[in-house]
C-alpha cells in the first residue's frame, strides 16, 4: 500500500506521523493509498522549515522569485497529463476536466510571473517642501493554506504562487481525500529551483488544521472549503491574531428568462450542473425559470440530462465521473428522496444508476428536480452532487428576490437576450461573481475570486490583486533630504507647506 508523505524542508518525509487515512479511487470504491495525518509536532516541523527559509526567501530579489515562477509554470505544462491522471484517480472527475483545473490554476502562476508589476508601490514627489512619500509592500512571513477536495490543484494554486512570489514561505494542508497532486506540485517547485523550505506540505485532518490555526509563527491562513469550517477557521485563526481569508460553500442560481436562447441556456446549465458530478463551488445547482421559459426549459434539460454519459474519469467517453465518497453518494440519494417526498417532480432520477464493471464505485447519475420550493432541503442545503433543482418565478424581480434571500452568494448567472434585464440583474443581485449568458463565471487570475454572504467569511477574496494585498503588508515612507538648514522642528502637528 502506497503511503503519501508530507513534504517538509525540501524532502518527502513521514516526520513523526503515525495516524493515516485511506485514499480511495471513487470509480472503483477501492483504497488506492494511505495518507499520513500530521500531528502538532509535524506542523511545527513544517513551520520551522518555512521560518528558516523565510530568512533568505523574504529577502530574495524579485528577479529570482519570478524566474522560479516561470520555470514552475513550464513544469506544470510538461506534467499536465500526469497531474490530470493523479487528480482523476483520487477525485473521480474526468481527466479532461482535471486538465481544465490545471489550466485555470496555472493562470495564477502566470499572474505571479508578473508579480513585479503588481508589487509596484507609488511615489509622491514634493508633498511638502523637500519631502517625498513612497510606499512599498513586504511579505508577511510564514503563511498557510487549507484546501478542499474538489479542486486538488487549482484551489491551492489560487494561494501559493502569489504568496511565494511576494516573498512569503508556505505550508499547505491539502484535502486528505486527494492529496497526491500536492506531493507532485512540491517536487515540481523543487525542480523549478525553489529553495528548500519555501513550499511545504503537511497532510492531515482537523488536528493539523487546529495546529496551523494556533501556531504562533504562522502569520496568515487562506482557507477554502465548506461554510461551517470556513467560519470556524476564520474565528479561531483571527482569535490567534492571524490574517485569515476563508471561502465557503455555495448554492449558485442560474436565472433563465423567456427571451433567452433556451437550447443554449439548457446546454450550459447541464454542463454547469453535472460537470465534475456537481462538485464545484461554482456549479449551477439551481435553475430559476422565469414565466413561459419554464416548461420548455425543463423539457430540453431532461433530454440533455439523459444524454450525460456517466463512467470512470479515466474513460474519455465519460462526461461525468463518480462523486468523491460513498457518504457523498448517499447524501445525494437521500436529498432526492426527500425532495420527491415533499412534492418536487423528479424529472430525471439518478439514484439507481450503476456503471457496468464499476459496481462498487461511488456513482450516482444526474438528477433533475422540477417545481422545487425554497423550503425544501434540496434547495436549502448545498448538495454538492449532480442534482439540478428548478424553481419557477413569474418575473426577473422575483428571481432576484429568491437569490438575495439565499444565505449563499458565491456565483450566479442570467440567460437572456435583454441587455436591460442583464444590467438590472447584475446591479441588484447580492452575489460576488456574476455571469451574463456565462454559467460558471470564475474570474480570470488577474481579477479576484470571492463570493458574498455565507460564501466568504471575513472580507478577503482570493488571488489577483486581493491575493497580493492579503499576502503583503504596506509601509509608507516619508522622506526629507533638506538642502541646507533653514528648517526647524515644530512641536505643532505637521502640515504641508
For helices 180-191 and 80-91, give the axis angle rounded to 10 degrees: 160
**Residues 359-388 vs ligand NAD: string with x where CB under 6 A?**
-----------------------x-x----
Number of residues that bind ligand NAD (CB under 6 A): 28
Smallest distance, ligand NAD to C-beta of residue 456, A: 7
Q: Which is nearer to ligand NAD, 75 or 324 (CB)?
A: 324
Three-state SS for the chain is: CEEECEEECCEEECCCCCEEEEEEECCCCEEEEEEEECCHHHHHHHHHHHHHHHHHHCCCCHHHHHHHHHHHHHHHHHCHHHHHHHHHHHHCCCHHHHHHHHHHHHHHHHHHHCHHHHCCCCEEEEEECCEEEEEEEEECCEEEEECCCCCCCHHHHHHHHHHHHCCCEEEEECCCCCCHHHHHHHHHHHHCCCCCCCEEECCCCHHHHHHHHHCCCCCEEEEECCHHHHHHHHHHHHHCCCEEEEECCCCEEEEECCCCCHHHHHHHHHHHHHHHHHCCCCCEEEEEEECCHHHHHHHHHHHHHHHCCECCCCCCCCCECCCCCHHHHHHHHHHHHHHHHCCCEEEECCCCCCCCCCCCCCCCCCEEEECCCCCCHHHHCCCCCCEEEEEEECCHHHHHHHHHHCCEECEEEEECCCHHHHHHHHHHCCCCEEEECCCCCCCCCCCCECCEECCEECCCCECHHHHHHHCEEEEEEEEECCCCCCCCCCCCCCCCC
Q: Looking at 46, 109, 155, 256, which residue binds ligand NAD (CB under 6 A)?
A: 155
Taking CB under 6 A as the criterion, which residues in 246-275 touch ligand NAD?
A: 247-250
Does 281 interact with ligand NAD (rule: CB under 6 A)? yes
- Piece of 29-37, 203-211, 311-319, 341-349 that binds ligand NAD (CB under 6 A): 203-211
Q: Which is nearer to ligand NAD, 236 or 296 (CB)?
A: 236
Q: Which is nearer to ligand NAD, 386 or 451 (CB)?
A: 451
Q: Which amino acids are annotated catalytic?
A: 281
Smallest distance, ligand NAD to C-beta of residue 255, A: 20
Q: Which is nearer to ligand NAD, 363 or 449 (CB)?
A: 449
Smallest distance, ligand NAD to C-beta of residue 408, A: 9
- Piece of 143-151, 238-246, 333-341, 364-372 that binds ligand NAD (CB under 6 A): 143-151
Does 87 interact with ligand NAD (rule: CB under 6 A)? no
- Piece of 70-78, 140-148, 254-262, 372-380 that binds ligand NAD (CB under 6 A): 140-148
Q: Which is nearer to ligand NAD, 270 or 455 (CB)?
A: 455
The answer to whether the CB of 284 falls within 8 A of the CB of 269 is: yes
Give 369's Cβ-side CA count (13 Å radius): 30
Cα gap 358→322, rounded to integer Å? 10
**Residues 436-455 vs ligand NAD: string with x where CB under 6 A?**
---------------x---x
The answer to whether the CB of 224 falls within 8 A of the CB of 27 is: no
Q: Looking at 153, 164, 209, 333, which residue binds ligand NAD (CB under 6 A)?
A: 209
Q: Which is nearer to ligand NAD, 9 or 225 (CB)?
A: 225
Q: Determine phi and psi for 290, rounding to 5 degrees.
A: -100, 130
Q: Looking at 42, 90, 101, 176, which residue binds ligand NAD (CB under 6 A)?
A: 176
Residue nearest to ligand NAD (CB): 225
- Piece of 11-19, 148-156, 288-296, 473-481 that binds ligand NAD (CB under 6 A): 148-156
Does 148 interact with ligand NAD (rule: CB under 6 A)? yes
Cα gap 96→77, rounded to integer Å? 14
Does 175 interact with ligand NAD (rule: CB under 6 A)? yes
Taking CB under 6 A as the criterion, which residues in 39-78 touch ligand NAD?
A: none
Neighbours of 496 (CB within 10 A): 8
Cα gap 32→24, rounded to integer Å? 5
Does 154 interact with ligand NAD (rule: CB under 6 A)? no
Does 150 interact with ligand NAD (rule: CB under 6 A)? yes
- Piece of 189-197, 219-227, 253-261, 393-401 that binds ligand NAD (CB under 6 A): 219-227
Q: Which is nearer to ligand NAD, 90 or 382 (CB)?
A: 382
Q: Which is nearer to ligand NAD, 393 or 403 (CB)?
A: 403
Cα gap 160→198, rounded to integer Å? 10
Q: Which is nearer to ligand NAD, 260 or 383 (CB)?
A: 383
Burial class (CB in 10 A: 0-12, 13-18, 19+), 153: buried
Smallest distance, ligand NAD to C-beta of residue 373, A: 22
Smallest distance, ligand NAD to C-beta of residue 377, A: 16
Smallest distance, ligand NAD to C-beta of residue 487, A: 53
**Residues 221-250 vs ligand NAD: string with x where CB under 6 A?**
---xxx--x--x--------------xxxx
Q: Which is nearer to ligand NAD, 44 or 397 (CB)?
A: 44
Does 303 interact with ligand NAD (rule: CB under 6 A)? no
Q: Which residues of the chain form contacts with ligand NAD (CB under 6 A)?
A: 146-151, 155, 173, 175-176, 205-206, 209, 224-226, 229, 232, 247-250, 281, 382, 384, 410, 451, 455
Amino acid at each position: 500500500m502506497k503511503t503519501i508523505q508530507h513534504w517538509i524542508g525540501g524532502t518527502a518525509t513521514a516526520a513523526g506521523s503515525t495516524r493515516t487515512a485511506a485514499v480511495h479511487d471513487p470509480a472503483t470504491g477501492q483504497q488506492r493509498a494511505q495518507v499520513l495525518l500530521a500531528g502538532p509536532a509535524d506542523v511545527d516541523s513544517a513551520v520551522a522549515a518555512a521560518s528558516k527559509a523565510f530568512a533568505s526567501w523574504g529577502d530574495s530579489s524579485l528577479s529570482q522569485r519570478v524566474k522560479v515562477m516561470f520555470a514552475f509554470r513550464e513544469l506544470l505544462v510538461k506534467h499536465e497529463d500526469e497531474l490530470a491522471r493523479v487528480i482523476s484517480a483520487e477525485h473521480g472527475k474526468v481527466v479532461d476536466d482535471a486538465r481544465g483545473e490545471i489550466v485555470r490554476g496555472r493562470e495564477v502562476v502566470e499572474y505571479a510571473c508578473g508579480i513585479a508589476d503588481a508589487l509596484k508601490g507609488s511615489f509622491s514627489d514634493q508633498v511638502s517642501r523637500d519631502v517625498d512619500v513612497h510606499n512599498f509592500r513586504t511579505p508577511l512571513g510564514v503563511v498557510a493554506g487549507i484546501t478542499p477536495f474538489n479542486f486538488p490543484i487549482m484551489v491551492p494554486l489560487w494561494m501559493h504562487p502569489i504568496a511565494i512570489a511576494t516573498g512569503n514561505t508556505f505550508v499547505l494542508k491539502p484535502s486528505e481525500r486527494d492529496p497526491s497532486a500536492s506531493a507532485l506540485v512540491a517536487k515540481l517547485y523543487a525542480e523549478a529551483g525553489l529553495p528548500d523550505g519555501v513550499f511545504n506540505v503537511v497532510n492531515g485532518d482537523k488536528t493539523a488544521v487546529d495546529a496551523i490555526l494556533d501556531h504562533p509563527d504562522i502569520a496568515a491562513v487562506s482557507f477554502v472549503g465548506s461554510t461551517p469550517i470556513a467560519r470556524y477557521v476564520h474565528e479561531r485563526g483571527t482569535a490567534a491574531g492571524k490574517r485569515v481569508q476563508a471561502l465557503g460553500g455555495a448554492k449558485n442560481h442560474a436565472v433563465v428568462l423567456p427571451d433567452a436562447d433556451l437550447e443554449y441556456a439548457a446546454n450550459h446549465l447541464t454542463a454547469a450542473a453535472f460537470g465534475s458530478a456537481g462538485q464545484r463551488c461554482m456549479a449551477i445547482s439551481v435553475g430559476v425559470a422565469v414565466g413561459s421559459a419554464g416548461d420548455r426549459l425543463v423539457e430540453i434539460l431532461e433530454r440533455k440530462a439523459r444524454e450525460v454519459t456517466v463512467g470512470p474519469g479515466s474513460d474519455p467517453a465519460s462526461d461525468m465521473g463518480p462523486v468523491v465518497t460513498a457518504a457523498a453518494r448517499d447524501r445525494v440519494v437521500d436529498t432526492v428522496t426527500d425532495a420527491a417526498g415533499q412534492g418536487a417532480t423528479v424529472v430525471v432520477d439518478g439514484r439507481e444508476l450503476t456503471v457496468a464493471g464499476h459496481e462498487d464505485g461511488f456513482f450516482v447519475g444526474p438528477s433533475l428536480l422540477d417545481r422545487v420550493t425554497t423550503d425544501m432541503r434540496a434547495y436549502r442545503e448545498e448538495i454538492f452532487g449532480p442534482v439540478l433543482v428548478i424553481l419557477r418565478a413569474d418575473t426577473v424581480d422575483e428571481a432576484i428576490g429568491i437569490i438575495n434571500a439565499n444565505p449563499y452568494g458565491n456565483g450566479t448567472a442570467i440567460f437572456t437576450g435583454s441587455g436591460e434585464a442583464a444590467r438590472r440583474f447584475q446591479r441588484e443581485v447580492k452575489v460576488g461573481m456574476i455571469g451574463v449568458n456565462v454559467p460558471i463565471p470564475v474570474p480570470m487570475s488577474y481579477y479576484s475570486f470571492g463570493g458574498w454572504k455565507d460564501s466568504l467569511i471575513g472580507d478577503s477574496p482570493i488571488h489577483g490583486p486581493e491575493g497580493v494585498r492579503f499576502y503583503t503588508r504596506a509601509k509608507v515612507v516619508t522622506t526629507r533630504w533638506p538642502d541646507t538648514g533653514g528648517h526647524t522642528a515644530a512641536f505643532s502637528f505637521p502640515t504641508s507647506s
